[in-house]
A and B are shown apart, each in its own frame.
Chain A
Amino acid sequence: MDHVAALLVELGLLFLGLAVLGLLARRLGLSPIPFVLLAALALGDGGLVPLATAEPFITAAAEIGVVLLLLTLGLEFSATELFASLRRHGPSGFVDLVLNAPPGFVAGLLLGLPWQGALALAGVTYISSSGIIARLIGDLGRLANRETPSVLSVLVLEDLAMALFLPLLVVTLTGGGPVAAVAGIALSVGAVLLVLVAAQRHGHHLGRLLTHRDDEQVLLRLVGLTLLVAGLAQAVGASAAVGAFLVGLALPATFADRARAILRPLRDLFAATFFVAFGLSTDPSEILPTLPAALLLAAVTTATKVGTGWYAARRDGVALFGRLRAGTVLVARGEFSIVIAGLAVAAGIPELGPVATGYVLLLAVIGPLITRFIEPVAARCRPAPTPG
């Protein structure tokens, strides 16, 4: 086969495979992310099937996948929701950070990672998967539940923390010392605040610039602007992901709904490619030795996330079983843990790859499972209703 033919055949088979895996995952009531990771481990160098021709394309497409993931994360965000969440659930967000980031950091140091790698692992264990969790809450009919506002607020605060954490991580990964790290934080706080305020005042100008009757025009303008800003951010040593997030943040809420709808198929395609690329870059034979560590870390951070949800729901006056639902639904880790791990691996800490892969594989499956199983268990333990 010539080069083009081989490329197209490989990509075609890859996407068909992803479709089958996605279907299987939905049947089982799980997220497709762990399935895609597992399949990608079986592909490429050291795997069962080499993807020799398509690999350069997949690597490039993965960069776009990260950019689109962060752009849609930014689009989800509104300043009003952020400030309301901070006011009402600030302490829960703080407890979330204090309980879930340190286990990753300590585990990273114990595993012999450099401290920058440990910092990345702290991010991996801290951030829940808002994609998996939002879907779970809808699927399980929990939207109207009393614990749900606290769960969603914790997720919003995690997204904010992510916006501040990514630049910090990028600065430290590129070899900056503590001073550069502090400068990085100051810079990112400044940038996020600036963009939020500017979006409040002038966001509608940007919205008008991108709005057009034609969906195609909106798509091209939006993707073009985002890639441009992401590329410039990468060039000045911040991360492309951060640039894309800021673009999403700057767009006004009126435009964001339409932008999300138009972007969704494109984002799904490129995000799947990103998960494949991450799986490809990890050598499957290295996962097994790190699996005990990943298991232990998963067990510890499952407990800490349950604690977080418990605390957040209790502050809202929710009773025992609601607190358990809130705690268990937060356990799932997914796309953003992989984004963080991917940044660290790309910056020259490949040892993080296997641990993070094993960890996300475990919790992207275990998280949805335990929160599903907690419902019937809770129903059985519940006291009988008082008659009348």
Chain B
Amino acid sequence: MDLQETLLPGVGVRYELTTGSGQVLGIVVQRDGGAEIAVYDARDPDRARGMFRLEPEEVDAVAEVLGAPRLTQRFADLSREVPGLRSARMTVRSGSRFAGRPLGDTRARTLTGCSIVAIVRDADVVTSPTPEELLRAGDVLVVIGSGSGLEELDRRLSEQA
């Protein structure tokens, strides 16, 4: 896989991914958190055509969609192969400031680098929860991340409302 990162002064960062099948995907992540996703002209490979503009919330949603399922899939292998990566279960206690708020409000990925791959709620399991998923007191979150990231998230979740 070939992923190149280029600085766009005053704008943000541009990523260019050449896929195995030879297609090229361009992603511009802007300073304000928004992004543009582009494919390139077959005749002029330097020119972006067909652009998606994503607002910051949309970027978060896309990141969750692409990030979480892949992590769940690879979780079993990864935690065996990668020494730094750990998983944990964390309970949303009643009185936590995140009980009754959407999952996205925890900003777990941004602040602690942890991924919440599933929510266990009574007998149900919500796999790959979206940022809109409302957390309830008693929910158990299945989380993957570094040791310190997990501790930080645990502290954050137990903050009182």
Q: Which residues of A contact B (CB under 8 A)?
A: 76, 81-82, 84-85, 88, 130, 134, 141-149, 152-153, 155-156, 257, 318-319, 321-322, 325, 378, 382-385
* A-B residue pairs in contact (CB < 8 Å), sample of 19: A81-B7, A84-B7, A84-B9, A88-B7, A134-B11, A142-B47, A143-B8, A143-B11, A143-B28, A144-B36, A145-B47, A145-B48, A146-B46, A149-B7, A155-B10, A257-B31, A318-B46, A319-B45, A382-B43
CB distance from B7 to the nearest CB of A (A): 5
Number of A-B contacts (CB under 8 A): 80
Residues of A within 8 A of B48 (CB): 141-145
Residues of B within 8 A of A145 (CB): 46-48
Take A143-B28, A257-B31 as given contacts and tell me if A149 and B46 are in contact as well, using a CB distance cutoff of 8 Å: no
Whether A148 and B9, one on each chain, are in contact in the complex, defined by CB atoms closer than 8 angstroms, is no
Please state if A319 and B8 are interface contacts (CB–CB under 8 Å).
Answer: no
Q: Are A152 and B46 in contact, with the CB atoms below 8 A?
A: no
A144 touches B43 (CB 8 A): no
> When the two chains form their complex, are residues B9 and A322 in contact, meaning their CB atoms are under 8 A apart?
no
Q: Name the residue on A nearest B30 (C-beta).
A: A143
Q: Please tell me if the beta carbons of B9 and A156 are within 8 angstroms of each other in the complex.
A: yes
Contacts of B28 in A (CB 8 A): 143-144
Please indicate the chain B residues that have their CB under 8 angstroms from the CB of A147 in the complex: 46
* B6: Cβ under 8 A from any A Cβ: yes
> Is the beta-carbon distance between A152 and B10 smaller than 8 angstroms?
yes
Residues of B within 8 A of A156 (CB): 9-10
Q: How far is the CB of A64 from chain B (nearest CB, A)?
A: 24
Q: Are A143 and B36 in contact (CB under 8 A)?
A: yes
Which residues does chain B contribute within 8 Å of A88, judged by CB atoms? 7
Chain B residue nearest to A137 (CB atoms) is B11
Report A270 CB to chain B, min CB distance, Å: 21
Q: Which residues of B contact A318 (CB under 8 A)?
A: 46
Complex: A152 Cα to B16 Cα, angstroms: 17
Interface of B is mostly: strand
**Is B122 an interface residue when CB atoms closer than 8 A count as contact?**
no
Interfacial residues of chain B within 2-51, with CB under 8 A of chain A in the complex:
6-11, 14, 16, 26-28, 31-32, 36-38, 42-49, 51
Report B29 CB to chain A, min CB distance, Å. Answer: 11
If A143-B36, A144-B38, A257-B32 touch, whether A322 touches B11 (CB-CB below 8 Å) is no
Chain B interfacial positions (CB closer than 8 Å to A): 6-11, 14, 16, 26-28, 31-32, 36-38, 42-49, 51
Contact of A85 among B9, B43, B44 (CB under 8 A): B9
The answer for the CA separation of A386 and B32 in the assembled complex, in Å, is: 39
Contact B14 A149 (CB under 8 A): yes
CB distance from B152 to the nearest CB of A (A): 20
CA of A88 to CA of B26 in the docked complex: distance in angstroms?
20
B38: which A residues are within 8 A, CB to CB?
143-144
Which of A81, A141, A143, A156 has the most chain B CB within a 10 Å cutoff?
Answer: A143
- Taken together as a complex, chains A and B put the C-alpha atoms of A81 and B8 apart, in Å, by 8
The residue in chain B whose Cβ has the minimal distance to the Cβ of A146 is B46
Q: How far does the alpha carbon of A144 sit from the alpha carbon of B36 in the complex, in Å?
A: 7
Quick one: given A144-B14, A144-B26, A148-B14, are A322 and B8 in contact (CB under 8 Å)?
no
The 8 closest A-B pairs by CB, nearest first: A322-B46, A144-B38, A144-B48, A146-B46, A144-B26, A81-B9, A156-B9, A152-B9
Cβ–Cβ contact A152 & B11, under 8 A: yes
The residue of chain B having its C-beta at the shortest distance from the C-beta of A157 within the complex is: B9
Across the two chains, which residue of chain A brings its CB closest to B44? A321
Among B7, B9, B31, the most chain A Cβ lie within 10 Å of the Cβ of B9
A144-B48, A145-B47 known; A134-B6 Cβ under 8 A: no
- Residues of B near A322 (CB, < 8 A) are 44, 46-47
Cross-chain contact A81 with B10 (CB below 8 angstroms): yes
Shortest beta-carbon distance from A128 to chain B in Å:
13
- Contact residues in B for A321 (Cβ distance below 8 Å): 44, 46-47
CB-defined contacts of B11 to chain A, threshold 8 Å: 134, 143, 152
Please name the residue on chain A nearest to B46 by beta carbon: A322
A148 to B11, CA, bound (A): 10
Q: How far is the CA of A81 from the CA of B6 in the complex (A)?
A: 11
Q: Which residues of A contact B42 (CB under 8 A)?
A: 385
